[in-house]
Structure 1
Amino acid sequence: MIIREISVSDAEAFLRLSRGLDKETQYMLYEPGERSTTLEEQRARIEKIHNKGFSTIFVAEDEEQLVGYAGIFGSALKRVRHRASIVIGILPPFQGRGLGTKLLGVTHQWAKEKGIHRLELTVMEHNRHAMYLYNKMGYRVEGMRKSAIVLEDRTIDEFYMGKILKADKEK
């Protein structure tokens, strides 16, 4: 398994991964078939992420297939450039193998190198596997967004979680 930063040449494979996650899990934002991103749009988004310098995506590759990713999305605004949002998705057959831990580990290291020390994410309250991973990696629930998601005609609450990264010398 290889974990690396995404490149523009990964656009087609990343779009395929994203659509696969849309179909195979209910824990991501898009419904199956709802994603309308074109290959050209995906290439442009990846290029934009690289050019701005305060966001990136790490992909997990297994036998030349993308099987998971962790995105970290920050801001250039002075008041919030110390924080970034995390999004992670792993295809179900590759879950439970430590891949989430590895993906979050590389995003944490990247964030430290960029001077980001607060990470945030949201997770559906019934996604126990993700909650376990995030707690293990030091994220803590900071609040709840009531009725944040509509899934199969019912509303789902979402936990808002955060983590403060310590500098390497503070470990």
Structure 2
Amino acid sequence: MNIDQKGFEVKGLSYIIRSADPADAAKLSQLRLQIDGETENMDRVQGEGVIDTSGFEQLIARDTEDNRNLFLVAEAEGEIVAFSRCEGNHLTRFSHKVEFGICAAREYWGFGIGKHLLEQSLAWADANGITKIILYVLETNEKAVQLYKRFGFEIEGVITKDRILSDGNYYNTIVMGRFKL
């Protein structure tokens, strides 16, 4: 599904949030690979689970056509610097919910981009009868956990010893959800 483009100005940075377009596929493939190497908050280490240009083209096309999915990008200074996805399910018992995921280039942290991607996703969900949004976040990503809490997400569970990070230690994943009738 698509949304209307919206512009923002934060700390001197102008950027827009808009629906992903198939023409974004190559940039998204490169950005995802870059972000995987910038933070351990993602599920992958750099080079794992790569989605190439063709894969992103297919994903964007599917998400654009499916009213249960939403693929957004944040564009600043002529470049895609972040993206988010809501992925729904057409099984009747799960049709009320979507799973949310987000990633942003480290250079653009602190400009409210994640917050605005989340706001746009929540507005879309609310307008389309989606009553539950779930997400998974690494326990050490405290800023993200606090952001989600500010938007009504609650901790629903913890997956213990879910990830091994570069320090060789195990870390928990927090399952968060927002339910709104």
TM-score (normalised: structure 2): 0.87
Following superposition, which runs of at least 4 residues in structure 1 exceed 6 angstroms of deviation? none
1:84 lines up with 2:84 in the alignment: no
User: What CA distance in whole angstroms lies between the structure 1 residues aligned with 2:137 and 2:149?
Assistant: 12
| 2:176 match | 161
User: What CA distance in whole angstroms lies between the structure 1 residues aligned with 2:152 and 2:165?
Assistant: 28
User: Identity across aligned pairs (percent)?
Assistant: 27
Unaligned runs of 5+ in 2: 1-14
1:58 lines up with 2:69 in the alignment: no
User: What CA distance in whole angstroms lies between the structure 2 residues aligned with 1:84 and 1:148?
Assistant: 22
Q: 2:34 aligns with which of 20, 36, 46?
A: 20
| 1:110 match | 124
| 1:133 match | 147
User: What CA distance in whole angstroms lies between the structure 2 residues aligned with 1:150 and 1:34?
Assistant: 15
TM-score (normalised: structure 1): 0.92
User: What CA distance in whole angstroms lies between the structure 2 residues aligned with 1:36 and 1:163?
Assistant: 29
Q: Deviations over 1:64-85 (max 9, x none)?
A: 2111112111111111111111
Deviation, 1:40, is 1.4
Q: Deviations over 1:88-132 (max 9, x none)?
A: 111112111211111101000111222101011111111111111
Residue-pair matches, total: 166
Q: 2:137 aligns with which of 120, 123, 132?
A: 123
CA, structure 1 residues 38+70, in 2 after alignment: closer, same or farther (shift >3 Å)? closer
Deviation, 1:156, is 0.8
Deviation, 1:41, is 1.9
Deviation, 1:7, is 1.1
| 2:51 match | 37
User: What CA distance in whole angstroms lies between the structure 2 residues aligned with 1:65 and 1:36?
Assistant: 20
1:47 lines up with 2:61 in the alignment: yes
User: What CA distance in whole angstroms lies between the structure 2 residues aligned with 1:34 and 1:102?
Assistant: 28
1:142 lines up with 2:156 in the alignment: yes
User: What CA distance in whole angstroms lies between the structure 2 residues aligned with 1:133 and 1:121?
Assistant: 12
User: What CA distance in whole angstroms lies between the structure 1 residues aligned with 2:50 and 2:85?
Assistant: 19
Deviation, 1:11, is 0.5
1:74 lines up with 2:82 in the alignment: no
- Contact 1:108–1:165 (CA<8 Å) still a contact in 2? no
User: What CA distance in whole angstroms lies between the structure 2 residues aligned with 1:111 and 1:164?
Assistant: 11
Unaligned runs of 5+ in 1: 167-171
